[in-house]
Amino acid sequence: MRATVHVKRRSDIADPAGTAVLRGVRDLGYSNVESVRIDKIITLEVGATDPARARADIEAMCEKLLANPVMEDYEIVLEEDGDTA
Amino acid sequence: MRATVHVKRRSDIADPAGTAVLRGVRDLGYSNVESVRIDKIITLEVGATDPARARADIEAMCEKLLANPVMEDYEIVLEEDGDTA
């Protein structure tokens, strides 16, 4: 089964990488760009059959490793379609 | 208008960050995780009114700065809904 985890920095936390890219696109002449944020999409292929168990495992992985719970929020989407693996 | 750019490493190109995270989740005991890939979502707020022009600008930004055209593919989604800004 495939799990997609969208890891987003909280909106009140500064995003230095996004700020650097914003400066870059403005330096290229795109002065109408107002803000840039960069988030992560983590795609995991998991050999699991029980979606509830898989979700609980991935939540634990997010808290421990995939996201920084102090600064980031995350959203987990499970795809149970076996033939996408 | 808001533009979301999904930047994905091509599947035949190694993803060292994903491989490191895979090792990490296995070290945590999640041995049923088969693969991990990490992609980027770049969200831009653009002060533009013409979607065709905005898309062309963002494509140019992708080729020059937001993505690495040698190793990455990108997909642009425009949201024209003014009140999300």
Q: Do residues A80 and A19 touch, judged by C-beta distance below 8 A?
A: no
**What is the distance between the alpha carbons of residues B54 and B2, in angstroms, rounded to a whole number?**
10
For the stretch B2-20, pLDDT in tens is 999 999 999 899 999 999 9
Task: Note the ipTM here.
Answer: 0.86
For the stretch A29-55, pLDDT in tens is 999 999 999 999 999 999 988 999 999
- Give contacts of B48 with chain A, Cβ < 8 Å: 32
**What is the distance between the alpha carbons of residues A59 and B7, in angstroms, rounded to a whole number?**
24
Best to test chain B binding among A4, A7, A23, A33 (most B CBs inside 10 Å): A33
Q: How would you class B47 by CB atoms within 10 Å of its CB: exposed for 0-12, middle for 13-18, buried for 19 or more?
A: exposed
Confidence of residue A81 (pLDDT cuts 50, 70, 90): low
For the stretch A57-69, pLDDT in tens is 999 999 999 999 9
C-alpha separations of A77 from A35, B39, B50, B63 in Å: 27, 15, 33, 29
Domains and CATH numbers, chain B: 2-84 (3.30.1280.10)
- CB of A51 less than 8 A from some CB of B: no
